[in-house]
Amino acid sequence: MSETVMAPEPGLHSRSPVRRLLAALAFLAIFLLLLLAGLGYGKYRAKRAFERGVDAMRGQNYDLAIAEFSEVIWLKPKYAAAYNNRGWAYAHKGDWVKAIADCNEAIRLNHNSVTAYYNRGITYQNKGDYDKAIADYSEAIRLKPDSVNAYIDRGHAYDLKGDYDRVIADFNKVIRLDPNQATAFIDRGNAYNRKGDYDKAIGDYSEAMRLNLDYAYICEEKRALAYSQKGDYEKAIADYSKAIRLKPDDAMAYYNRGLTYDRKGDYDRAIADFGETIRLKPDFVEAYNNRGSAYIQKGDYDRAVADETQVISLDPKYATAYFNRGNAYRHKGDWDRALADYNEAIRLGPTNALDYKNLAWLLAVCPDANVRNGKKAVEYATKACEMSEWKDPYWFDTLAAAYAEVGDFDNAVKWENKSLASNASYATLERMSQRLSLYEQKKPYHEEKT
């Protein structure tokens, strides 16, 4: 009996092994092509998003920049530059926490990223964490020793900490790397000025002007301040005048020139400059206050009272205005108002020794017996001397008058003799000698009514 051979059912299994292998390879090739195409498109999308993010940063559209760099990070999670740039966008928005977090990730992905350390340093500096900012700038400098910007911003951070020697050292380096950078001379000049090295400050401001006349105005003002602080008032006034010619609507130039005239004792010109300051900036409290003080020096007490009252209306907590108005009232013979203003000055500014001294003087020597209070005068005069660490013999004159008012003439004579060792003017020393003579006769000193 013969064997019957069945034909196989039609279907996939009817293909030979070779044909099945070829089909599988074809499928794999198509899959790989699609995968590679997808990866290529992803890279293209990331590149375009990064470019759009950079454009958004340039246009100061930081929200858009953050969105674009976020897309880059989603497509390329290990792209350090995207984290760095997004962090910089967050920093511009003032979101320090997210800015620092992105910089941290950029640094984790690329330990040698100078830009990430530098950007994180700026963010820490804006946040007020100057030590961490300095550490990051220093790392940026270690990685790139010719990084001018890192030296500049580290110098600024040291300046904010008050470490002026390190400020100078950093700007020395900037100047060595870029000798024509005028702003480096200005920054170094500022540090010299704050250290009290006025000649070097003046030299740096002059060099900055020589390098770039665009900075002439700011350098004239800064150099003028240095001249004024070293007591060279004529040169200071000349520089402020040049600054005013360059920028005639700048209130600060008039104000600072007014202060310089005031220090010279040229009160009329000081008053004129303070007046121009007020015209340009009607709410400038300090200009009113200093004009009021200049009026007192001229003996124009009514105008002084008006200016100091204006200060108080603008800023009711401005202690110096009460002190100055109290002086004007005292010279006018308005003792009660003087007393009230001195007390208010002390309430608002209890650490100002001069307020205690002037109040003690009024309580000791006022022509009105109802105002005088010898016991309080001794208390306040002693406190003033303690606060000044007993270093100013001129103030001992007030303490002597206070002791005389309570009848303690031994101490009055003792402290008046010590006050005569002060560097007061000849006329003032003469008045001190006259008071000493009274105390030796067991008599207190009282001012005459005006």
pLDDT tens per residue across span 183-200: 999 999 999 999 999 999
268 and 284 in contact (C-beta within 8 Å)? no
Cα gap 155→177, rounded to integer Å:
14
88 and 99 in contact (C-beta within 8 Å)? yes
Instruction: Say which residue the tokens 């962090």 belong to.
Output: 87
Given this model, what pLDDT does residue 12 score? 41
Q: Which of 124, 177, 127 is nearest to 138 (CA)?
A: 124
Give the relative orientation of helices 335-348 and 353-365 as an angle to the nearest 10 degrees. 160
Q: What DSSP element (H or E) covers 48?
A: helix 17-58
- pLDDT less than 70: residues of the chain: 1-42, 450
Phi and psi at 423, nearest 5°, equal -95, 35
- Overall size of the chain counted in residues: 450
Q: Where are the alpha helices (DSSP H) in 315-352?
A: 319-332, 335-348
Instruction: Say which residue the tokens 């009290």 belong to.
Output: 196
- DSSP of 145-185: TT-HHHHHHHHHHHHHHT-HHHHHHHHHHHHHH-TT-HHHH
> Is the torsion defined by CA of 221, 226, 229, 231 positive or negative?
negative
Cα gap 216→207, rounded to integer Å:
10
Given this model, what pLDDT does residue 423 score? 80
Distances (CA, A) of 172 to 115, 140, 161, 185: 22, 18, 18, 9
CA atoms within 13 A on the CB side of 335: 18
**Coil, helix or strand for 86?**
helix
Given this model, what pLDDT does residue 23 score? 54
Given this model, what pLDDT does residue 327 score? 95
Report helix, strand and coil shares of the chain as percent, to nearest 5. 80, 0, 20
Model-level pTM greater than 0.95?
no
* Conformation bin of residue 315: beta by default, left when phi > 0, alpha when psi is -120 to 50: beta
- DSSP of 275-306: HHHHHH-TT-HHHHHHHHHHHHHHT-HHHHHH
**Which residues, including other chains, have CB under 8 Å from residue 270's CB and lie 6 or more apart?**
258, 259, 261, 262, 290, 291, 294
Cα gap 356→350, rounded to integer Å:
9
118 and 137 in contact (C-beta within 8 Å)? yes
What is the residue extent of each domain of the chain?
38-161
CA atoms within 13 A on the CB side of 352: 17
Given this model, what pLDDT does residue 27 score? 53
The CATH architecture of the domain made up of 38-161 is Alpha Horseshoe (1.25)
Given this model, what pLDDT does residue 17 score? 62
Cα gap 50→318, rounded to integer Å:
53
Given this model, what pLDDT does residue 203 score? 97
**Coil, helix or strand for 144?**
coil
Q: Residue 262 CA to chain centroid, in angstroms?
A: 25
- DSSP of 55-99: HHHHTT-HHHHHHHHHHHHHH-TT-HHHHHHHHHHHHHTT-HHHH
